[in-house]
């Protein structure tokens, strides 16, 4: 069953236009098309299957490699959570994410009908046409996504890349399937989440960003509800690393007169200038094109917490340029304390945003990144110690010792009922799925 998740063309309705723009990146609608079907198997010839050995690939060899890969994936999925600092050293996770020169699309069964039978494990397969990668100049983004996902395989809140491979026309990326669907869908139905729910998911995202920034030196650069999935136990899985970029810290400075060296900035030392992301979640420095680093992810966390609590992002307009102007100004407004009218239902009490949440959002959404929580001295540990998280046990969160506040309805391991249906324009049919591609076993 094909599961490409392209959104249908928008009409004149403002809400649909807003949702479509949310799906698109700041680089335009082409990015949405690629992200819906992308697979970062395009890498250097030394590591990628983009240049397979024409002598390799007998059916027996491919089946042997497929079985070995799935066994490793099963082992990693069933083992206890590995401490974040140990993930890069784990020999099991190091075997995941490596490109295969032997596997092909024919080594997997595409699930055309769902709900019949029971399978031990299913996977999500992302697909990207090589001609599109080259034509739209997305080679670097595709390579970055594959390399970053391979490096972070094994983190409890990041989607796991099993392997990648290619054929003459397409690139493929085999990922663990996350059946709960986008957290955006749950937020859209509920309109807003209670404080305890927001606090829980903000904590899991904080742990993700701390790992990406402090251990892997990676800026994610596209945090938003559409890129966050829920697993069967209600925990987050961050997906779509097409904008992720490795930003190594600055090298140590030269020795001073006393012979001592002064280390470079610990957080956000790497700088890049690419305009990318989703309009409502862009940090001011991205819009100004003044150079940005990992601090943009902490800004996006503040916007995400606001949207989960209030039901909409703090900066929005039908005209993206107006959104950018609002972001650069940086004036975040919270709901007033008086009652508001709600059509035929009379009036309803206004939202109450706890003081801890207000301070947390405002601290993350400083227009000057040098003053932004997460980027100032203390880095991610300063974020974790904020009183917004009072009462949380961080070990309990990281090691998944409690179930998430939202438990998706999942009837079987290949259930795709939690994903919205989208019409695929070039195929004229409907399909479902997680971040594009197909569900396979």
CA distances, 211 to each of 24, 42, 252, 378, 380 (Å)? 26, 25, 22, 14, 9
Q: In which band, very low, low, confident or very high, does the pLDDT at 22 lie, cut at 50, 70 and 90?
A: low
Residues with catalytic annotation? 222
pTM of the model: 0.77
Q: In whole angstroms, give the CA distance from residue 346 to residue 352.
A: 19
Q: How many helices (H) and strands (E) does the chain have?
A: 14, 12
Extract the tokens encoding 178.
Answer: 């996350």
* In the predicted structure, residue 285 carries a pLDDT above the cut 50: yes
Helices 355-364 & 295-310, crossing angle to 10 degrees? 150
> Burial letters for 22-32: b for 16+ Cβ neighbours within 10 Å, e otherwise?
bbbbbbeeebb
Q: In which band, very low, low, confident or very high, does the pLDDT at 376 lie, cut at 50, 70 and 90?
A: very high
Instruction: Give 350's DSSP letter.
Output: P
Q: In which band, very low, low, confident or very high, does the pLDDT at 298 lie, cut at 50, 70 and 90?
A: very high
Predicted pLDDT of residue 136: 87
Question: What mean pLDDT value characterizes the chain?
Answer: 76
Q: In which band, very low, low, confident or very high, does the pLDDT at 335 lie, cut at 50, 70 and 90?
A: confident
Extract the tokens encoding 104.
Answer: 């092909």
Among 412, 437, 432, which residue's Cα sits nearest to residue 174? 437
What number is the average pLDDT over the span 22-28? Answer: 47
Residue 58 parent element (H or E): none
Q: How many residues make up the chain in this entry?
A: 441
Contact by Cβ (8 Å): 296, 284: no
Cα-based torsion angle of the residue sequence 155, 157, 163, 167 in order, rounded to the nearest 10 degrees:
-150
Q: In which band, very low, low, confident or very high, does the pLDDT at 10 lie, cut at 50, 70 and 90?
A: very low
Q: In this prediction, what percent of the chain has a pLDDT beyond 70?
A: 69
Give the torsion sign (CA, 314, 320, 325, 327).
positive
Report the DSSP pairing between strands 123-129 and 438-440. Answer: antiparallel
Contact by Cβ (8 Å): 130, 169: yes
Q: In whole angstroms, give the CA distance from residue 140 to residue 154.
A: 24
**Greater model confidence, 37 or 220:** 220
Domains of the chain in sequence order: 14-179+410-440 (3.30.200.20), 183-398 (1.10.510.10)
Q: In which band, very low, low, confident or very high, does the pLDDT at 425 lie, cut at 50, 70 and 90?
A: very low
Predicted pLDDT of residue 186: 95
* In the predicted structure, residue 250 carries a pLDDT above the cut 80: no
- Each residue's pLDDT tens digit, 38-82: 333 333 333 344 444 443 457 777 777 777 777 777 766 766 788
Q: Which of 3-7, 168-172, 294-298, 411-415 has the lowest mean pLDDT?
A: 3-7
């Amino acid at each position: 069953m094909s599961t490409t998740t392209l959104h249908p063309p928008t009409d004149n309705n403002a809400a649909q236009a807003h949702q479509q723009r949310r799906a698109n990146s700041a680089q335009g609608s082409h990015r949405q098309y690629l992200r819906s079907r992308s697979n970062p198997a395009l890498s250097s010839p030394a590591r990628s299957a983009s240049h397979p050995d024409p002598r390799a690939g007998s059916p027996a060899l491919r089946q042997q490699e497929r079985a070995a890969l799935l066994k490793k994936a099963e082992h990693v999925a069933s083992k206890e959570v590995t401490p974040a600092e140990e993930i890069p050293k784990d020999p099991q996770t190091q075997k995941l994410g490596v490109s295969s020169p032997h596997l092909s699309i024919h080594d997997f069964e595409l699930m055309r009908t769902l709900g019949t039978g029971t399978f031990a494990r299913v996977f999500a397969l992302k697909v990207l046409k090589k001609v599109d990668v080259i034509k739209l100049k997305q080679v670097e983004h595709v390579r970055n996504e594959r390399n970053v996902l391979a490096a972070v395989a094994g983190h409890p809140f990041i989607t796991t890349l099993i392997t990648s491979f290619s054929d003459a026309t397409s690139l493929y990326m085999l990922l663990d399937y996350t059946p709960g669907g986008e957290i955006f869908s749950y937020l859209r139905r509920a309109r807003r989440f209670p404080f305890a729910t927001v606090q829980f998911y903000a904590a899991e995202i904080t742990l993700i960003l701390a790992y990406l920034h402090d251990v892997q030196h990676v800026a994610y650069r596209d945090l938003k509800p559409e890129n966050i999935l829920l697993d069967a136990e209600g925990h987050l899985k961050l997906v779509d690393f097409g904008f992720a970029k490795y930003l190594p810290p600055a090298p140590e400075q030269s020795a001073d007169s006393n012979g001592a060296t002064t280390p470079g900035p610990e957080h956000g030392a790497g700088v890049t200038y690419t305009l990318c992301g989703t309009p409502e979640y862009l940090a001011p420095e991205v819009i100004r094109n003044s150079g940005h680093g990992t601090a943009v992810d902490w800004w996006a966390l503040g916007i995400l917490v606001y949207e989960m609590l209030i039901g909409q992002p703090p900066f929005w307009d039908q005209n993206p340029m107006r959104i950018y102007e609002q972001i650069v100004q940086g004036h975040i407004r919270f709901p007033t304390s008086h009652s508001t009218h709600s059509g035929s239902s009379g009036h309803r009490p206004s939202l109450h945003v706890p003081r801890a949440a207000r301070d947390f959002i405002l601290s993350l959404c400083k227009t000057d990144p040098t003053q932004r929580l997460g980027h100032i001295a203390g880095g991610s540990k300063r974020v974790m110690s904020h009183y917004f998280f009072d009462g949380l046990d961080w070990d309990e969160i990281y090691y998944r010792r409690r179930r998430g506040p939202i438990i998706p309805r999942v009837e079987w391991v290949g259930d795709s009922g939690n994903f919205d249906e989208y019409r695929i324009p070039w195929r004229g049919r409907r399909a479902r799925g997680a971040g594009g591609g197909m569900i396979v076993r």
